[in-house]
């Protein structure tokens, strides 16, 4: 099997071919009116990392790797910054050791080794972070990245309560493959699905498949088991509780600073049998936004309720660029969704949306249409096209890496009444900075999730920069957009997490007494300060 | 206006009359075959409390009360133990001062006064705790109870995002009365609704109106503002976020140990216009339980989904005691609920439930049936009867207080696959202890809330004890039931909170590292340890 690429999304076999690079260079040259030179990506053989500064004790040697490739793979996530640095073979501060524990006892042993020596211990799930969530810290004599991917089993399935005990290192596809024979699915499909893990989803409050109601992984966690330097943190399996502040909600989103999540009981779903969907178009993004607001405030709880602005509807769903597209989808294991989709469409039409009656798609068990085929006629064609673009996007980004393009996504959430002002501020900040830094560029937006009290907007932006100067240009644009989000009253992240990237804005956002409480908690659980240092708080 | 009763649920005017006492004594005599003597309840004039040991500074004197009545009212909640002790005029450790701040600045000033002098500062909402959530601690030179009820305003209503900024001291009825002119409702109706406050609901993770999906107040909190001894804790108003562990989820359920909640932005609802309900009967509680499980696992999210065992169906809903009753109800501001109720009834019937077609009740705007009238025909009659019994229950308990009856409720939550065993264990423990301690007694159960992964069962028990020995008898029964809940794997509370009453079992339940984190957080935010000492953790 192909190894993971040390710089690109996916495996080495997913790295761009020479032909792809040439085509992309030509495409960018045409789009931006500059001569973009096709340069071939780096090779793993060119990696030259700092020699490991520490060696694992003999008891752990069998599960520890120190070769350059493994350490490079575990240095960066897959944000724009990460890909650029890896592509440029810039690895000034890689982990010294990558541990691959195969049991919880081995996780504990690795953590003990780090804690007693003051080495940074960095939990690693699937490596998909876009916020430098596991990038090694400066100032440590030793850095040990703890890759949980060998802990990848679904250990128990409770089909009465519809829960499963799953090891933290299970990646999306493997986890689903193990649930499938039982007739269940977790149904958590972040864009990183292929290369992200259950533990990573929990540690970062990942946002998934469901666009309304239960949007984050948070709502699917029944209990968490986490190894800390001072003992095992394990909550009771409960469908609900009111006993003090939720222990799970303190572990969820803790980004590896309090402990290493080793397993969790998760609420699982029966596989959907009934589906209904509709792509409703609107004359503008704000008109579509009003449609989305009314649908979600009616509490129909569609599984999908994603709004694409005219730009995204054009590039991702093949529309003409003049109208926004609101994709509404229902699904159920047990019940026909005909009435739900008709009620939602009626609300969307009442808000000014347009859809032909024959473009409302409804399917029942036995129909040919299933979740992997979106259909190919009418508006459903746009829905299906968008879905394919979503899954393929990270691979597309591989191809243009290193050509001078500066491009990224960013996401937030805001209450509805402040949303139009936020959109103006964030788009304005992005466009103004792109114009100044890159001499122009594009900005588009969609809603990934919507709540009765507000949307989670997701911006995509790009501009043509200068090869070699991408990181500085990126930093300026990211700063302007993040400052705008803060000024508008939003959150610096809805589901990408904080990491090192968002710390400056996170520090403005969280209540200071809460930060003090979190610092105190970390000092108590991790007295030597070895767990993912620099994330969320400084201690 | 009538004052609050110092011992009974409600106001002084709600205390039982001589005739009610005589009738209750006769009824109990007949039911238990013993001679129960009618004794008249205590009078406020008989209160003799320890003199206040401290005096407020002159700057706070205007908002501080030290009279016996006010201090007695603020000593106990309204559990069985509380009513017995208050009824018996046992107030060995009342607060010395009851502060009634009218502004957040006054809350801060009171807290500063307590913190700098080492006086216990105990937040008080509506006084409805059943778990000794605000009972004064031993070992303090001064005890100041901080009654938030003057902070009772809805400060802002955002009708676009459907949120409202509400002061923590607002009681249920006042809060709803202020939202009503805007066309909104919080729709949080715990049984304590009349005498409980928003801040109390948040601090205790109150469970409310909705029986499925968003059951706890937790899900309706958009942001919390809390005064701590080290500064103000205020989260951003956000519809959703993934930025670190949720600050709100640490404040929610903190039971006054980290700070005093002064206001919150809450997610509010448009008033329901469409309703549909059905009371489906089952041959047994476990058969009904299977029906409830299937309905909630189909994710129809009914607003009501409460299952009464045959005993409760008889006493609370006028049925014949041979069958369990599953009450299913849907409501919506915008959409007819016909299809939802029909789908739910079909599932319940498929699970062995029975309901006549004409007993499925559906109402639309303009129909005479509304939320205050449950109808009076067919099964709907049972639904309406149950609703009245629910609201009236706390007043009924006043009447039998002090006659020797030992009676209480307790609640938990458990995953479905362990539920039948838990029911056997908890009923067994209760019945066995009632038989031994009281020479017999009754036990019944209902579900107050249901989740896809398990129910929240709510037990009601009573036995005839000996006047004067009620507290010892109670303690033995409570211990046996709580031990059974722990052994069965449940939570010591689903929505009544921990308080002093549940601490021993809470300590068994929460992960030890989480308790360490919470202790560290408390030590940091409340360095002098004055906030509601002894709740949740010892520091």
Residue B391's pLDDT is: 74
The lowest-confidence range among A26-35, A493-502, B374-383 is B374-383
**Stretch A499-521: mean pLDDT, rounded?**
98
User: What average pLDDT does range B347-353 have in this prediction?
Assistant: 98
The pLDDT value recorded for residue B1 is: 65
Query: Which parts of A190-340 are beta strand (E)?
Result: 221-228, 231-234, 260-267, 269-270, 274-282, 304-308, 324-332
Model confidence pLDDT, tens digit, residues A287-315: 999 999 999 999 999 999 999 999 999 98
Confidence of residue A376 (pLDDT cuts 50, 70, 90): very low
> What span, in angstroms and rounded, lies between the C-alpha atoms of A124 and A49?
19
Residue A469's H or E segment, with its range, is none
Question: What integer pLDDT is reported at residue A389 of this predicted model?
Answer: 74
CB contact under 8 A, A413 and B493: no
**B383 pLDDT exceeds 80?**
no
- Residues A155-179: tens digit of each pLDDT: 999 999 999 999 999 999 999 999 9
pLDDT tens per residue, range A94-134: 999 999 999 999 999 999 999 999 999 999 999 999 999 99
Q: How many CB atoms lie within 10 A of CB A67?
A: 12
pLDDT-based confidence at residue A387 (cuts at 50, 70, 90): low
* % of chain A beyond a pLDDT of 90: 93
Residues 6+ apart with CB under 8 A from A155: A164, A165, A166, A167, A263
Please, what's the b/e burial string for B370-407 (b: 16 or more CB within 10 A of its CB; e: otherwise)? eeeebbeeebbbbbbbbbeeeeeebbebbbbbbbbbbb
Torsion sign, CA atoms A206, A207, A208, A213: positive
Rg of chain B over CA atoms, in angstroms? 23
Q: Which of B343, B502, B513 has its CB closest to that of A230? A: B513
Coil, strand or helix at A308: strand
pLDDT digits (tens, 9 = 90+) for B477-536: 999 999 999 999 999 999 999 999 999 999 999 999 999 999 999 999 999 999 999 999
Mean pLDDT of B322-327: 98
Gap between the Cα atoms of B211 and B310, Å rounded: 20
Among residues 328-367 of chain B, which lie with CB inside 8 Å of chain A? Answer: 332-335, 339, 343, 347
Q: What is the pLDDT of residues B271-295, one digit of tens each?
A: 999 999 999 999 999 999 999 999 9
Q: Contact A496/A506 with Cβ under 8 angstroms? A: no
Strand partners, A147: A124
Task: Give B224-233 pLDDT, tens digit per residue.
Answer: 999 999 999 9
Return the percentage of chain B with pLDDT > 70, whole number: 96
Q: Which of A243, A265, A346, A491 to mutate to test the interface with B (most CBs of B within 10 A)?
A: A243
Q: Give B121-136 pLDDT, tens digit per residue.
A: 999 999 999 999 999 9
DSSP string, A51-116: PPS----HHHHTTEE--HHHHHHTT--SSHHHHHHHHTT--SS--SEEE--SSHHHHHHHHHHHHH
- In tens, the pLDDT along A226-235 reads 999 999 999 9
Q: How many angstroms separate the CA of residue A418 from the nearest CA in chain B?
A: 9
Asked whether the beta carbons of residue A241 and residue B333 sit closer than 8 angstroms, the reply is no
**B413 to B228, B280, B507: CA distances (angstroms):** 31, 23, 17
Is B371's pLDDT higher than 70?
A: no
CA quadruple A167, A168, A169, A173: dihedral sign: positive
Q: What's the pTM?
A: 0.96
Q: Do A244 and B238 touch (CB under 8 A)?
A: no
Identify the pLDDT of residue A383: 63
- Residue A537's CB is within 10 A of a number of other CB atoms, namely 22
Query: Residue B112 has which token pair?
Result: 């500063």
Residues in chain A closer than 8 A to B267 (CB atoms) = 452-453
CA of B500 vs chain A CAs: smallest distance (Å) = 12
Is residue B379 over pLDDT 50?
Answer: no
Does A384 have pLDDT greater than 70?
A: no
Give tens-digit pLDDT for B196-239. 999 999 999 999 889 999 999 999 999 999 999 999 999 999 99
* Pairs of CB atoms within 8 A across A/B: 296
pLDDT band at B393 (very low <50, low <70, confident <90, very high): confident
Which residue in A243, A249, A497 is closest to B242 by CB distance? A497
pLDDT reading at A502 higher than 70: yes
Q: Does B417 touch chain A (CB under 8 A)?
A: yes
Cα A54 to chain centroid distance, Å, stands at 32
CB atoms < 10 A from the CB of A18, how many?
10
B105 pLDDT exceeds 70? yes
Interface test with B, best of A201, A276, A349, A453 (most B CBs within 10 A): A453
pLDDT band, very low/low/confident/very high, at A378 (cuts 50, 70, 90)? very low
Average pLDDT, chain A: 95
With 80 as the cut, is the pLDDT of residue A382 above it?
A: no
What pLDDT is recorded for position B374?
39
> What's chain B's average pLDDT?
95
- A428 token code pair: 């304005």
Interacting residues of B19 by C-beta distance below 8 A, sequence separation 6+: none
Question: B161: which chain A residues are within 8 Å (Cβ-Cβ)?
Answer: 415-417, 452-454
How high is the pLDDT of residue B238? 98
Q: Distance from B141 to chain A by nearest Cα, in Å?
A: 27
Test A247 with B511 for CB contact under 8 angstroms.
yes
Q: Does B499 touch chain A (CB under 8 A)?
A: no
Is the pLDDT at A370 greater than 70? The verdict is no
pLDDT at residue A369 is higher than 60: no
Task: Answer whether residue B92 shows pLDDT above 70.
Answer: yes
Q: List, in sequence order, every beta strand (DSSP E) within A77-212.
A: 97-99, 120-124, 143-147, 154-158, 163-167, 184-185
* High-pLDDT (> 70) share of chain A, %: 96
Q: What is the ipTM of this complex?
A: 0.96
Closest Cβ–Cβ partner in A161, A242, A267 for B216: A242
Contact: B524, A509; criterion CB under 8 Å = no
């Amino acid at each position: 099997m192909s190894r993971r690429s040390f710089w690109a999304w996916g495996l080495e076999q997913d790295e761009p071919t020479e032909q792809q690079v040439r085509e992309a260079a030509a495409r960018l040259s045409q789009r931006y009116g500059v001569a973009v030179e096709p340069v071939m990506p780096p090779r793993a053989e060119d990696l030259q990392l700092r020699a490991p500064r520490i060696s694992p004790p003999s008891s752990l040697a069998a599960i520890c790797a120190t070769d350059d490739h493994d350490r490079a793979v575990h240095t960066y996530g897959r944000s724009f910054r990460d890909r650029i640095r890896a592509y440029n073979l810039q690895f000034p501060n890689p982990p010294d050791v990558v541990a691959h524990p195969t049991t919880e006892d081995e996780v504990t042993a690795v953590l003990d080794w780090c804690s007693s020596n003051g080495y940074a211990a960095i939990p690693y799930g699937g490596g998909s972070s876009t916020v430098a969530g596991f990038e090694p810290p400066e100032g440590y004599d030793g850095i040990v990245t703890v890759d949980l991917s060998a802990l990848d089993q679904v250990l128990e399935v409770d089909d009465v309560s519809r829960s499963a005990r799953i090891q933290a290192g299970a990646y999306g596809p493997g986890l689903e493959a193990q649930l499938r024979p039982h007739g269940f699915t977790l149904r958590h499909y972040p864009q990183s699905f292929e290369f992200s893990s259950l533990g990573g989803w929990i540690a970062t409050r990942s946002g998934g498949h469901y666009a309304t109601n239960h949007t984050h992984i948070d709502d699917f966690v029944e209990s968490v088991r986490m190894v800390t330097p001072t003992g095992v943190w394990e909550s009771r399996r409960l469908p609900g509780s009111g006993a003090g502040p939720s222990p799970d909600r303190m572990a969820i989103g803790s980004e590896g600073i309090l402990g290493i999540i080793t397993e969790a009981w998760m609420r699982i779903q029966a596989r959907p049998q009934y589906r209904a969907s509709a792509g409703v178009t609107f004359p503008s993004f704000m008109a579509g936004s009003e449609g989305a607001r009314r649908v979600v405030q009616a509490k129909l709880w569609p599984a999908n309720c994603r709004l694409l602005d005219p730009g995204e509807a054009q590039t991702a769903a093949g529309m003409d660029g003049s109208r926004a597209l609101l994709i509404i989808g229902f699904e159920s294991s047990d019940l026909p969704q005909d009435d739900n989709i008709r009620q939602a469409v009626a609300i969307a039409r009442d808000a000014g949306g347009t859809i032909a009656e024959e473009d409302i798609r409804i399917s029942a068990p036995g129909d040919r249409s299933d979740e992997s085929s979106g259909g190919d006629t009418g508006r459903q064609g746009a829905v299906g096209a968008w879905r394919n673009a979503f899954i393929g996007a990270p691979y597309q980004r591989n191809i243009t890496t290193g050509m001078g393009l500066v491009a990224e996504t960013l996401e937030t959430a805001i209450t509805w009444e402040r949303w139009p002002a936020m959109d103006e501020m964030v788009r304005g900040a992005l466009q103004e900075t792109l114009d100044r830094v890159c001499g122009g560029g594009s900005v588009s937006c969609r809603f990934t999730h919507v709540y009765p009290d507000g949307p989670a907007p997701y911006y995509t932006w790009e501009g043509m920069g200068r090869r070699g100067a991408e990181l500085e240009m990126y930093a300026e644009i990211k700063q302007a957009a993040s400052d705008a989000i803060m000024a508008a009253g939003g959150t610096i992240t809805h589901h990408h997490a904080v990491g090192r990237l968002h710390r400056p804005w996170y520090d403005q956002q969280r209540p200071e007494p809460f930060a003090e409480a979190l610092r105190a908690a970390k000092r108590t659980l991790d007295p030597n300060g070895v767990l993912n240092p620099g994330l969320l708080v400084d201690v």
